């Protein structure tokens, strides 16, 4: 059998060939160009239904599916390091405190992870779906994803996927709704907080920030925002005595991430980001922003190059947003 170089399946899932056959069945991968007969068989093959997953569920490869617990954090960190993800142990810990998920273990070693984060009773985000390189091509990614869906549904679920991963999610009913651009680097030049417009966030601002976030996203993200502010710095944009936008900056990965950023206009979003950059100085910064945010050229101009992208996909009905504020940067691609 020929050796295939590993290809990233999504921002968290890896497989060897993007045929989609083994993700559900755990069978062998095929080489591209096998022929029309195989493609016709694939068209007729029914999509796998999500099944109920229980703690200790096994398959014939002795991989055990269990709830994601704190005891798995070190193994999850090693898994992300194998994939050259820049996550710190603290990033995994925060993710687990805010959400829940599953781990695949084999011989006591973590070989796969999947997590999801509830936003109220109607919506959620999903991510951190990883399968170890030595365990790829056996249907583990699909097994983790189906367990996640069984746990999180009937909530509407959003996630961010690379092009290679879209087939896995489309087979489960996800549809694309947007694109996220990942910008990062050490900012060039001097950055200053716009005087009289943006100020540091105070504890008394939190309820106003919650209303802004709810209007912009349609989601109930109180727990997440509280957690991010515990370890980060918040900024508020005020106009006419009213809070019109906010941003949070915190340690994450290789340096700092600025997000969420919620504002009414791209100009206001830039002002909030400038305030955060002014405090951070010359450090590594990452910002994940929508392709339609109108921030891309400006971010490139200050030294935060676009290094990747992801397709936002959703299973269910998107949350209605009231505006006029909208999201200009997300906290990370897993939280959405």
Compute φ and ψ for 304, nearest 5 degrees: -100, 90
Q: What is the DSSP letter of 324?
A: S
Reported as a single tens digit per residue, the pLDDT across 247-269 is: 999 999 999 999 999 999 999 99
Mean pLDDT of all residues belonging to the chain: 85
Who wins on pLDDT, 30 or 192? 192
Q: How far is CA 145 from CA 73, 187, 209, in A?
A: 19, 37, 33
Pairing type for strands 198-200 and 232-239 reads antiparallel
Q: Are 12 and 159 in contact (CB under 8 A)?
A: no
Task: Kindly state the average pLDDT of the residues 229-248.
Answer: 96
- pLDDT at position 36 is 40
Q: Kindly report the pTM of this predicted structure.
A: 0.82
pLDDT at 322: 84
- The residue among 97 and 20 whose pLDDT is bigger is 97
For residue 136, give the nearest of 23, 258, 295, 279 by alpha carbon: 23
Q: How confident is the model at residue 222 (pLDDT cuts 50, 70, 90)?
A: very high
Q: How confident is the model at residue 323 (pLDDT cuts 50, 70, 90)?
A: confident
Q: What is the mean pLDDT of residues 316-320?
A: 94
- Report the distance separating Cα 224 and Cα 331, nearest Å: 10
pLDDT tens sequence across 33-86: 333 432 343 333 333 333 344 445 444 458 999 999 999 999 999 999 998 888
- Residue 106, pLDDT > 50, answer yes
100 Ramachandran zone, left/alpha/beta (phi>0; psi -120 to 50): beta
Q: According to the model, what pLDDT value does residue 162 have?
A: 74
pLDDT tier for residue 31 given thresholds of 50, 70 and 90: very low
- pLDDT mean over 176-191: 96
Q: What is the DSSP letter of 330?
A: B
At 61 the pLDDT is: 54
How much of the chain, in percent, has pLDDT values that exceed 90?
Answer: 74
């Amino acid at each position: 059998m020929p050796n295939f170089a590993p290809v990233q399946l999504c921002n968290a899932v890896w497989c060897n060939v993007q045929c989609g056959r083994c993700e559900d069945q755990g069978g062998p991968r095929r080489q591209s160009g096998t022929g029309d007969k195989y493609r016709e068989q694939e068209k007729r093959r029914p999509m796998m239904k999500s099944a109920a997953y229980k703690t200790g569920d096994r398959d014939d490869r002795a991989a055990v599916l269990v709830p994601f617990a704190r005891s798995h954090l070190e193994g999850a960190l090693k898994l992300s390091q194998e994939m050259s993800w820049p996550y710190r142990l603290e990033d995994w810990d925060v993710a687990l405190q805010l959400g829940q998920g599953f781990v695949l273990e084999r011989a006591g070693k973590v070989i796969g992870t999947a997590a999801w984060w509830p936003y109220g009773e109607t919506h959620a985000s999903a991510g951190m779906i990883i399968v170890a390189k030595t365990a790829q091509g056996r249907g583990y990614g699909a097994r983790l994803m189906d367990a996640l869906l069984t746990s999180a549904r009937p909530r509407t679920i959003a996630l961010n996927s690379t092009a290679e991963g879209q087939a896995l999610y489309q087979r489960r009913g996800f549809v694309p709704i947007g694109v996220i651009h990942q910008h990062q680097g050490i900012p060039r030049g001097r950055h200053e907080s716009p005087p009289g417009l943006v100020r540091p966030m105070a504890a008394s601002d939190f309820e106003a920030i919650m209303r802004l976030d709810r209007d912009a996203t349609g989601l109930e993200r109180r727990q997440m925002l509280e957690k991010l502010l515990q370890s980060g710095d918040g900024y508020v944009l005020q106009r006419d005595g009213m809070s019109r936008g906010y941003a949070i900056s915190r340690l994450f990965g290789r340096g700092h991430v600025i997000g969420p950023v919620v504002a009414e206009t791209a100009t206001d979003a830039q002002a909030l980001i400038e305030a955060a950059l002014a405090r951070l100085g010359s450090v590594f910064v990452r910002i994940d922003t929508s392709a339609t945010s109108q921030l891309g050229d400006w971010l490139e101009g200050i030294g935060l190059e676009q290094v990747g992208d992801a397709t936002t996909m959703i299973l269910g009905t998107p949350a209605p947003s009231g505006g006029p504020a909208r999201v200009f940067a997300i906290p990370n691609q897993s939280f959405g």
